[in-house]
Structure 1
């Protein structure tokens, strides 16, 4: 993906790029496979704040998280159903990653998502946090059939505030729909 992005940008701006060969075999992430989800009470790192969110009525009882650098440009985690299917995705974007995310129009936000921002030190761009109600293309359905706006907002608030505190960022502002 990075190579193709570089090639397209080089073509658009008249630059040259030296790219490698296309990949023919790529191992897939273990997202959704048995053994990757764990109870919400065992969340770690930036997701530890989600331990205190009340999953009652959310359709989720577990979490999938990934070990990462202490301060990555992007952090992802997934709240999963009893069947270990991702029902909500939580994302944090910093610096250039936040700028890129915003330039896409927040990925097509609708009323089944919540976004928050905060200013962070050493960055000219605000950090962006988002939670989405996820769709499962394998089953053509939502693993969590009924989106809970109040749960999504409280989960995002806990996640974003913990991330902001960890990185020394300012107060988190949840974006409200008009």
Structure 2
């Protein structure tokens, strides 16, 4: 009798425990705790544990996100992943990490594979970080020089698709977008340092990013008009090397400049010369290290071959130089902007003499700023 009572007691205890476990599991699952736990596990392991999660939440404007596989077919990555928020109107951030020597045509800023329009133009990240941000997606990139690897860098590319970054005329919305971009840049730089530790790249850390870089173009709606264009003689950023040519620029129909803050270690630099109405007529760019390799291998319509060139009947010219930290020659380009919306070039009458003078001034200043040598001009 006692044995039976004991068996009944044990059976009841087991049944109660099982019920508690089932009930607790149901509460854990249906309360959302399971989803949160699953998301955290996926983020902790994504991209081999290199993600900077605090800034990731800010960039995605959500505390609920999960990581998955990067669905594009690419080779050469050390690690890559995609992070997506939960719910409707989700945001997605894609990250790719690789050595600069393994950079491919898809590693650069989208649209920067040609010298025609304005897509892919960028600003330095700031904070002495060797990187840049493009505003059309947006996309941020960092190339950390590795002290322990000769002529090598760690290339980190991140891309953000977010419904919170759609074009808006409301100042409050634009302020929120600026905060998202600042968090996105912080995520990219902090994740780059985590990746450097993970993959053995001894790199210097920049300063904390508190403000978002500004768009040098400051486009006005759908028209290619720059509100921030100023007289070339007054520029003090990336267009400053062209100040001595202010008079010649005015005669060439581009008296104003549109620029980003100058940064000595920026791997990508842009300056735009504009018409009196502030419409970009010429673009000038400096491209260093892995990014010069990407440009040459991208196979865009603006092919560059050799150390310099000014092809007859084409809209661009280029120069190159040998710069520290890479076996790839730096690339300095000038091109006449083509307005795809109106299917015309804002500069109606070209001056080849001015174009070569502008490229020379821009390239000479850039080589001096980066400690380059052997500048080859067309």
- For Structure 1 versus Structure 2, the TM-score category normalised by the shorter chain is 0.7 to 0.9
Q: How large is the Cα RMSD of the aligned pairs? A: 2.3
Q: What is the alpha-carbon distance in structure 2 between the residues aligned to residue 34 and residue 130 of structure 1? A: 21
Q: Name the CA shift for 1:19/1:135 in 2 (closer, same or farther; >3 Å).
A: same
Q: Name the CA shift for 1:14/1:87 in 2 (closer, same or farther; >3 Å).
A: closer
Structure 1: which 5+ residue stretches go unaligned? 1-5
Which protein is richer in helix relative to its size? 2
Q: What is the alpha-carbon distance in structure 1 between the residues aligned to residue 317 and residue 335 of structure 2? A: 7
Instruction: Name the count of aligned residue pairs.
Output: 168
Q: Name the CA shift for 1:77/1:27 in 2 (closer, same or farther; >3 Å).
A: farther
Q: CA deviation at 1:112?
A: 1.5
Question: 1:154 aligns to what?
Answer: 357
- Higher relative contact order, structure no. (Cα contacts within 8 Å, ≥ 6 residues apart): 1
Question: 2:252 aligns to what?
Answer: 58
Q: What is the alpha-carbon distance in structure 2 between the residues aligned to residue 120 and residue 152 of structure 1? A: 24
Higher gyration radius (CA): 2
Secondary structure of 1:12's counterpart equals coil
Quick check: 35-44 or 101-110, which moved more? Answer: 101-110
1:79 lines up with 2:273 in the alignment: yes
Q: CA deviation at 1:136?
A: 1.2
Question: 2:163 aligns to what?
Answer: 24
Match of 2:264 among 70, 89, 92: 70
Q: Per-residue CA shift, 1:140-175, capped at 9, x if unaligned?
A: 211111222221111010000001011110032124
Q: What is the alpha-carbon distance in structure 1 between the residues aligned to residue 327 and residue 352 of structure 2? A: 30
Match of 1:128 among 331, 336, 341: 331
Quick check: 106-115 or 73-82, which moved more? Answer: 106-115
TM-score normalised over the length of structure 2: 0.41
Q: CA deviation at 1:130?
A: 0.3
Q: Is contact 1:101-1:107 (8 Å) kept?
A: no
Secondary structure of 2:257's counterpart equals strand
Q: What is the alpha-carbon distance in structure 1 between the residues aligned to residue 256 and residue 76 of structure 2? A: 48
Secondary structure of 1:92's counterpart equals strand
TM-score normalised over the length of structure 1: 0.83
Question: 1:101 aligns to what?
Answer: 295
Q: Per-residue CA shift, 1:105-159, capped at 9, x if unaligned?
A: 5752552111000001122111100000001123221111122222111101000
